[in-house]
Structure 1
């Protein structure tokens, strides 16, 4: 059941991180359109009779794999002072295009239609490990006094996006807000098997947000053309205690 707080404690996280400066852009979609994109074993989850698809850009920060302690200033490559783009390997922009599903046992979770990350090495490693649809991309997240601007273009292909939002005041999440943002497992399909990865973090602090501009072809590229204007936009300053657990085969 969807809940504000995590459904499980990830006692031995394979990865710890923060998810910072995150925007949720959501469209309503006919359930049959989304169901056609899902692997066997997953059923589209609906709210108010609609499936929902979310474009979610953010910064994955302070990444620490199992056994690496918290390091002030992040995890840095020795001798890389003259290569600032390589020096800090603990942070990267990421943008996922996601939808909401139920597994064979009825538990709710996320299904990623596509994921772009600023680190090509990280993208390749996660794709190889669990089958998540990661792609290396040139990405940026820029802040000014009023707006946050995200941009990305995938390497060696035409997929790209640019969006700008203006965050506003903090809100008390509605039932729909919680349903869209508070998911505690992610499903992937790898080597013919359906996997599930548990997720734990503190509740999302959500803010209202105004969409100032949006250009993207990611939804078209996954088989969802013509979605039109988004129905909802939220912003979050982020969560700092993200714990991703060990993927398990779904029985």
Structure 2
């Protein structure tokens, strides 16, 4: 399985990370909720050592609720407590040294141990009370961050079309096919490389009851120009965190 994933790289706009991968996760039932925003709005929240990436002059912020169903360290058996949990990411799009990637504003998770481990690795993880259920063809998802109940998300979503592989050059491909993330601690930038097979996504419908995870965005950013994708599942490989 892993060999097949590593052999398929044509969908990437960046090289595979050097060395062996360290960890794997399976991501299931993802909603990609993409919000356009002005570059001036987003730039102030992105570290100066990263270039804000835009598509046709617009910056984008994406909110991604999903389920992790199989996390394990390479060559080790899975640990039952951290094998499965919910996660909710808020990210924007950046470049560094010409390589496209992502910058996380926040990552919420429902189990404390992965949060503590990730924060030691410099990522902005937060512990949250979270739940996800499927009723009919709708996925119902909620999250409230411990210590600040306003940083919450509640809604439901479902796929609305056949799944497809986005074509290179399109906005869909630009938003989805990202394989490096960067984070900054003081004056030091760190990076993590990932890899998976190309995203196969459907158009999605979402009804959002609460969305308090992007207080830095103007109200009009959550209007009619939201772009929604649903992805059923992807096996993801992670490389070790390193100083950029």
TM-score tier by shorter-chain length is 0.7 to 0.9
Task: Please give the secondary structure, in 2, of the residue aligned with 1:89.
Answer: helix
In 1: Cα distance, 2:144 partner to 2:240 partner: 30
Q: What is the CA deviation profile of residues 87-136 of structure 1, one whole-angstrom value per residue up to 9, with x for unaligned ones?
A: x4201100000000011x1211000011100111111111112x111000
Match of 2:104 among 109, 112, 129: 112
Q: What is the CA deviation profile of residues 46-71 of structure 1, one whole-angstrom value per residue up to 9, with x for unaligned ones?
A: 002100000001112211113314xx
Q: What is the CA deviation profile of residues 21-56 of structure 1, one whole-angstrom value per residue up to 9, with x for unaligned ones?
A: 111001110001111001121011000210000000
Q: Which residue of 2 aligns with 1:101?
A: 94
Q: Which residue of 2 aligns with 1:63?
A: 71
Checking the alignment, whether the CA contact within 8 Å between 1:10 and 1:243 is kept in structure 2 is no
Determine if the alignment matches structure 1 residue 204 to structure 2 residue 211. Answer: no
Checking the alignment, whether the CA contact within 8 Å between 2:165 and 2:199 is kept in structure 1 is no
Q: Which residue of 1 aligns with 2:79?
A: 75
Q: What is the CA deviation profile of residues 212-248 of structure 1, one whole-angstrom value per residue up to 9, with x for unaligned ones?
A: 234211001xx224222252000000102x1110122
Checking the alignment, whether the CA contact within 8 Å between 1:148 and 1:166 is kept in structure 2 is yes
In 1: Cα distance, 2:177 partner to 2:209 partner: 24
In 2: Cα distance, 1:60 partner to 1:155 partner: 20
Q: Which residue of 2 aligns with 1:27?
A: 35
Checking the alignment, whether the CA contact within 8 Å between 1:23 and 1:234 is kept in structure 2 is yes
- How many pairs align? 229
Q: Which residue of 1 aligns with 2:189?
A: 194
Checking the alignment, whether the CA contact within 8 Å between 2:82 and 2:113 is kept in structure 1 is no
Q: Which residue of 1 aligns with 2:83?
A: 90
Determine if the alignment matches structure 1 residue 143 to structure 2 residue 151. Answer: no
Checking the alignment, whether the CA contact within 8 Å between 2:39 and 2:58 is kept in structure 1 is yes
TM-score, structure 1 normalization? 0.85
Checking the alignment, whether the CA contact within 8 Å between 1:108 and 1:185 is kept in structure 2 is yes
Determine if the alignment matches structure 1 residue 236 to structure 2 residue 227. Answer: no
Match of 1:246 among 233, 236, 240: 240
Q: Which residue of 2 aligns with 1:36?
A: 44
Match of 1:128 among 109, 114, 120: 120
Task: Please give the secondary structure, in 1, of the residue aligned with 2:70.
Answer: strand
Moved over 3 A (4+): none
TM-score, structure 2 normalization? 0.88
In 1: Cα distance, 2:231 partner to 2:18 partner: 23
